[in-house]
Structure 1
Amino acid sequence: MTSRTLYLFGCAAPPVFDVAAVIEDAQGRGFDVCLGLTPTAACWLEDSLDGLAALTGHPVRSRYKLPGQPDVWPKADVIVVAPATFNTINAWAHGLTHEFVVGVVAEGIGKGIPLVTMPCVNAAYVQHRQFERSVAELREMGVEVLYGEGGFVPNRPGQGKPRAYPWHLALDAAERITTPG
């Protein structure tokens, strides 16, 4: 099987601590994984970054490269943003690209790269009107948003179950999108 390149972008939500197992699952599905993190997620995983780079075979990125620097990752066949926080979903929908992860996926829409995201937000955040608007906006731009029935369902604040985060749904979507036929 020809390897497909998956950019896996994680945000600072508790399921990000399981990203090594997710990378291994994706690799078992035939993906060459490149890991990108928001700055806060990179801080949370600081002690694991070298190991994650070794696991993927690519540097872990959380910042834009400098002008003139070469790309260090192969071209993406699909990008998965999970867990995606309230902040990331809203910034992406509004095109606010101050963070590397949001900049790449915002540009990915224009490049026609298949995009999947699965939020990880509590039920209090989703009461903010902007969240549903942002989810709708991303869907209108062609992003597959795994939220609600068949995706992530928010918990009450403080009642999260990080180990129950349905990572498999995001990888299933990436696999479906990139499998010919």
Structure 2
Amino acid sequence: MTQDVSKPFLYVVVCAAGVAQDVGKLVAAALEDGWEVGVIATPLALRFFDTDDVEARTGHPIRSAWRAPGDPRPFPDPDAVIVAPATFNTVNKWAAGISDTLALGTLCEAYGLGVPIAVLPCVSEALAAHPAYRASLERLGGMGVRFGDPYAGETDEDGGRPEFRWERALDLLRSH
């Protein structure tokens, strides 16, 4: 698996939420937009999407765990990062500077590198009402993180769910 150095490199951080099953839509859109893509998933998120399909699309292994000392870096430094879907847990830990997974460590480090970051939150209305979450959004926004519209995923009167707007993340990066 090799990198096309002529293309900017995008990290897509995937969290464990039901809509993660469609993260391939974001990967496809990013590839079409001219990005090379590497996916970093929270450990639980690996069970939420087709990892084989995503690896085939990107040409890179999905990362979820820290690499061992001496192992080569599978991805170059990112030119941008998208977190989608971003869960309550990830947003709050990230804002607090907690780095207990590769995904969170990557997000904490990306800020220090000055890398543009776009986030598509996927948080229920009940969790979004929690004061810690609101404070986390404010802290991350103050760090320059760009947020898409919140997505609660609750069903409508017909039993359907609104579409998760994956392309919005790329729009947020374009406006950076």
Asked if the contact 1:80/1:115 (under 8 Å) is kept, the reply is yes
Partners of 2:48 and 2:130 in 1: CA distance: 26
1:33 maps to amino acid: V
Partner of 1:18: 22
> How far has the Cα of 1:161 moved from its partner?
6.1
Does 167-176 or 56-65 show the bigger shift?
167-176
**Residue 125 of structure 2: SS of its match in structure 1?**
coil
User: 1:6 corresponds to which residue?
Assistant: 10
Give the alignment partner of residue 95 of structure 2, picking from 93, 96, 99.
93
Aligned residue in 1 for 2:3: none
1:77 maps to which residue?
Answer: 79
Name the SS of the counterpart of 1:138 in structure 2: helix
1:43 aligns with 2:26: no
Q: What residue number does 2:123 align with?
A: 121
Identity of aligned residues (%): 34
The aligned counterpart of 2:174 is: 175
* Distance change in 2, residues 1:101/1:116 (3 Å): same
* Aligned residue-pair number: 169
Structure 1 CA distance, aligned partners of 2:88 and 2:160?
Answer: 17
Contact 1:5 1:34 in 2 (8 A): yes
More divergent stretch after superposition (29-38 vs 137-146): 137-146
Please name the residue that 1:165 is paired with: 164
Contact 1:121–1:154 (CA<8 Å) still a contact in 2? yes
Q: How far did residue 6 of structure 1 move?
A: 0.8
Query: What is the identity, as a one-letter code, of the residue corresponding to 2:40?
Result: G
Deviations 1:95-127 (A, max 9, x none): 111011110010111111111112100101012
Pair 1:143-2:145 in alignment:
yes
**2: CA distance between counterparts of 1:110 and 1:161?**
40
TM-score norm. by structure 2 comes to 0.88
Extract unaligned runs of 5+ from structure 2: 1-5
- Checking the alignment, whether the CA contact within 8 Å between 2:30 and 2:37 is kept in structure 1 is yes
Considering fraction of residues, name the structure with more helix.
1
Q: Please say if 1:33 is aligned against 2:75.
A: no
On the 8 A contact 1:15/1:162 being kept in 2, the answer is no
TM-score normalized with structure 1 length: 0.86
Alpha-carbon separation, structure 2, partners of 1:68 and 1:162: 45
Q: Which runs of 4+ in 1 moved over 2 A?
A: 152-156, 158-163, 174-177
Deviations 1:125-170 (A, max 9, x none): 0121100000001011121122xxxx224355x6696661111111
